[in-house]
Structures are given as C-alpha cells and as structure tokens.
Structure 1
Amino acid sequence: MSASGTRHRAVEHLGHGDHLCLAFSDDAEQRRVVTAYLLGGLARDERVMYFADRSTPGQVLSWIREAGTDPAPALNSGQLTVTTADDSYLATGTFDADAMVATLHQEVTDALAAGFTGFRVSGEMGWSLRNLPGAERLGEYETKATDVFAGHPASAICQYDARRFDAAALDDFDRRHTGTLEQQPLHASASLRLVPSWRNGRQALRVVGDVDYHCAPALAGALQTAAGWPGDITVDMDALEFIDLAGVRALVRAAEQLPAGRRLHVVDLDPMLSEVIHVVGWDEIPALTVTAREVLA
C-alpha cells in the first residue's frame, strides 16, 4: 500500500495529533462519524468541544443520547461543551484565524490542567459560506490549526458538507489537514474493503486490498452504488494490492453499463496491471479510462 493510504483514517482509529477533514454528502454519515468521535472522547476522559452550525446543539446532544449515553453528567462537569459557530469561530462577529488558533491552544492547555487526558474538538464549517469578514482566511486557519494538535494529546475533525462546498474548495481544505476521515465501507472483509471516499473534491470509491473472483461480486455491487453518485465514477486503486481477471471484468461491465456521457475512471492502478489492461484492449472502451500510479524513483 502506498504511503498516501495512511491519510485515510477510520474514526475508531483516530488518535492524538490528528487534524482530520470530514467531507460528507449524507446526514446519516455525518451523524455516525460525529457521534463516534464525541463518545470516544468522553470514554477516554478527554475534554470534548463541538461547534454546531447547520445542526443545532440540541440535535448534537440527541445523537449522543440516542446512542445510549446521557450527556448531562459530562455537560455538568464541564467535560463536554456543545455550542454554535456564532459563539466560537465568530464570537467577535468576524472570523479571526490567529485568535481562533490561540483559543484552541489555550483549550488544550486548560483541558490538561483540569486533569483531562486530552482534548478533542469538532466543528461544522458551513458558517464560512456566509460571506462574513475574515471567512476568506479559513484555509490559512486550517493550515495553522495543525500545529495545535501535532505532538499534543489533542485531535480535531473539521466537517465540510459537500452539498454546499464546491469540489475545488473541498480539495483545498482536505489538503490542509493531516488526513481524511474514512466513510463507512460498502464492503469489508479480511482481504478487501470498498470505501466511499473523496478525491480532488469529488466522490470516489477506494479499493483497499485484494480483488479476486470470490469478492468480484462485492466490487460489482459497490460500483453499482457509485453509479448513483453524480458525475463520473472514480475508482481509486492507490491501496489495491491485487486484482484478477474477474475484478477487471467487473470494472469493464460497470463502465459499459454507464449512460452516454458518463465515464468510469480507474486511477492510481499498479503500472503492470495497467499495462495488462492496455494489452488486452479493455482501455479502448469509450466509457473507461485507466491511469497508472506514478512510481517514485
């Protein structure tokens, strides 16, 4: 697996020092990740903060409650704070990137001084689309915020609703984080995971592990799901270890079944496998493009 695969992290494996980007286009997926993140912090006796925007603080607390945990004790003890973007990022009426970074540094220090094992924070970033003074510095803030968490018992998840941010903005914000939150896999086994993801600000299907004739039907099913996403289909093969003829045929069939004008892009495929597809002639199918992974010298 290439080193870039380490950028994708499941919320259950998130640790201290992480400053991760969550791009989502489904409310249920946002809720799943956020709930797991908040509950994980409470269970580890970390100080937990949440800055809501499109959601309300009451909704966020209901996610915790419906997951089987009463948030009242953590709220009363000061372990948990759920507030709004207006009372955090925009507390002065404008967005001051440097002041917000300084505030987070102080929150980490205060959490440890209070006896908590760490600090974690998550914020909904849709407020930046309101054309408020200072919002244009959000990218700068995301870059600087990484230093708040690096090397410290602290972590963050910044949430970007892909239905509201364009692909260029999503890609830029993602690159300013140390990693990306992995979505719920469409298929997960000992040898293969098929995971909805984001690449260049657009939805993609990540193939992680081995595809053989046993799990080719799972790949076909995941490709069918991806066909329901808008635009072309991107299949990210950066973390692919092996694919046999049955797996390649699943890709070819998925491309052939696309309506006119749509394409299936297989990207970062192992150069040797890419050459095999070229020799066989499958890359001559109009709806299928295959791009080999760059080999570093």
Structure 2
Amino acid sequence: MHITTSQQPALELGFGDYTCNWGVHVCGLYETEAERDEIIMGFLSQGDRVGDLQFYCPAERSIEDFKAAYVRQFPELASHLDDPARFQLYSARALYYPEGTFSPWAMDAGLEAFYQKSQRESTRNIRATAEMVWALEAIPGIEHLMVYESRLNYFIPGKPWISICLYNLNKFSGMMIMKVLQTHPYTISGGIITENPYYQPPDQWLAQYAPQFLSQRA
C-alpha cells in the first residue's frame, strides 16, 4: 500500500508492505519490543538491501545488542554492519548531547553537516531512526526536545531522507505523546502508517510553544 507523503520518489518502508515518499518525518508508537523491532529491522534491512545509508540510534539496547539481533535475523547482511557507507550507528549521548547538553540549534547544525557529507560524492538516500527513551533522563536542555522534533519538519522535506522517531507508549506520558503527535506529520501505530490529524507545521507549533526557536530555519 502506498502512502503519498511528498512529491519525491517512493521507497519501500520494509514493514507492512507499505511504500511512501522520501522527505518525510514519522513517529513510530509501540508498546512491545516485537512492535519496535518490526519497524526497525524491516526499515533498516530494506534500506541495507537497496544501498541506502542507515542512520540509527538505539537506546533501549546497546549498539552491540542491536548488531547481534540484526545478524541473527539477517545473516546474509552481517558484513554490512561495519561498513560506514551502509551503517552509521550512534549512542544517544554521541548523537544528541555529546557535550552534555541537548540543543536544537546544535542538532540542526549536526544533521546538516551529516547530510552534506553524505551527499558529497553522490546522492545518498538516508534512513534515520532512533529510540527516544533516552529523553526521559535528566539531561540539561531536554525540555527543548519537541522544538527539535518540530524543526525537523524544516530540515527533512525535499531531501532523500526519512526519519522515524520511536516512542515507547509504556514509558512516555500521554501529555508527552500528544506533543509528539503535534510535531510529526505521519505516524506508525499497530503496524499501520497514517497521516496524523494532530500535526502542526513548525511555523505554527513553534510560534505557539517556543517562539524563540522560530527564526533561523535549517
């Protein structure tokens, strides 16, 4: 089933027989490890098979545990995990707060630098996904997490990029999940991808909740 998410070329998501278009920001909502892994393993292995760049941040398990699970499920792809042209794996700290503080501005700059480097030799399709439970820790600046999520909707459209941000419904509050829904134009829930009626474009969301971050678009 195809879900039209932009005017860009289509990709296979790798789960549920879904296709969508590049240039989209999605939240994945799950309650069990099996639900989480259906998304992650399908999404990344499909990209791996067709030569996309996988950009992944595990948080409910270590990078080593992810690699072991990936090899068990896809032994024919095992050698790809250590190829930086296919996989870029980051801990939550290394990706989101390497200096100890979370900053939406730093995330804007870091993702743009990553994107420009990835495109230097040729166009690369990028599949990004992250488990967001790290954000439940008492990290300085984490109150601006949804600012970052909203601003991703400036960064991603028009690029050969898809991001799936994974939120565990058993760990995040209902209030937090509502903010997640407000900042992601599409959702995956129960294995089904849909357009999100609660989504607010970044100009609208930031003007209401964080006007100091409205300027300086990525």
TM over 0.5: yes
Alignment of 1:217-232 (within 5 A): none
Q: 1:38 aligns with which of 44, 50, 62?
A: 44
Query: Any idea what the Cα deviations from partners look like across 1:181-238, whole Å, max 9, x if unmatched?
Result: 24336xxxxxxxxx9xx998xxxxxxxxxxxxxxxxxxxxxxxxxxxxxxxxxxxxxx
Query: Any idea what the Cα deviations from partners look like across 1:50-104, whole Å, max 9, x if unmatched?
Result: 1121211122223321222433335234320222101110111111111112211
What is the CA-CA distance between 1:44 and the residue it aligns to? Answer: 2.7
Q: Secondary structure at the match of 1:49?
A: strand
Alignment of 1:78-227 (within 5 A): 78-115=85-122, 117-184=124-191
Instruction: Answer 1 or 2: higher relative contact order, Cα 8 Å, separation at least 6.
Output: 2
CA distance in 1 between partners of 2:37 and 2:197 (Å): 21
Q: Which has the higher strand share?
A: 1
CA distance in 2 between partners of 1:66 and 1:147 (Å): 37
Q: Secondary structure at the match of 2:117?
A: helix
Q: 2:25 aligns with which of 3, 19, 29?
A: 19
Q: Secondary structure at the match of 1:173?
A: helix
Q: Secondary structure at the match of 1:104?
A: helix
Letter in 2 for 1:169: M
CA distance in 2 between partners of 1:14 and 1:56 (Å): 29
Aligned 8 A contact 2:71 2:78 in 1: yes
Q: Secondary structure at the match of 1:88?
A: helix
CA distance in 1 between partners of 2:187 and 2:178 (Å): 11
Alignment of 1:204-283 (within 5 A): none
Letter in 2 for 1:37: F
**Structure 1: runs of 5+ lacking an equivalent:** 186-194, 201-297
Equivalent residue number for residue 53 of structure 1: 59
TM-score normalized with structure 1 length: 0.56
CA distance in 2 between partners of 1:71 and 1:116 (Å): 24
Equivalent residue number for residue 72 of structure 1: 79
CA distance in 1 between partners of 2:122 and 2:48 (Å): 13
Determine which structure has more spread, i.e. the larger CA radius of gyration. Answer: 1
What is the CA-CA distance between 1:36 and the residue it aligns to? Answer: 1.0
CA distance in 1 between partners of 2:123 and 2:145 (Å): 29
Shift of the 116–40 alpha-carbon distance from structure 1 to 2, 3 Å rule, reads farther
**Structure 2: runs of 5+ lacking an equivalent:** 6-11, 199-218
What is the CA-CA distance between 1:143 and the residue it aligns to? Answer: 0.4
Shift of the 154–47 alpha-carbon distance from structure 1 to 2, 3 Å rule, reads same
Aligned 8 A contact 1:47 1:116 in 2: no
CA distance in 1 between partners of 2:119 and 2:145 (Å): 27
CA distance in 1 between partners of 2:120 and 2:45 (Å): 22
CA distance in 2 between partners of 1:86 and 1:44 (Å): 29
Shift of the 71–89 alpha-carbon distance from structure 1 to 2, 3 Å rule, reads farther
Q: Could you say what the CA RMSD is over the residues aligned between the two structures, in angstroms?
A: 2.6
Letter in 2 for 1:176: T
Aligned 8 A contact 1:171 1:199 in 2: no
Q: Identity of counterpart residues, as a percentage?
A: 20
TM-score normalized with structure 2 length: 0.75
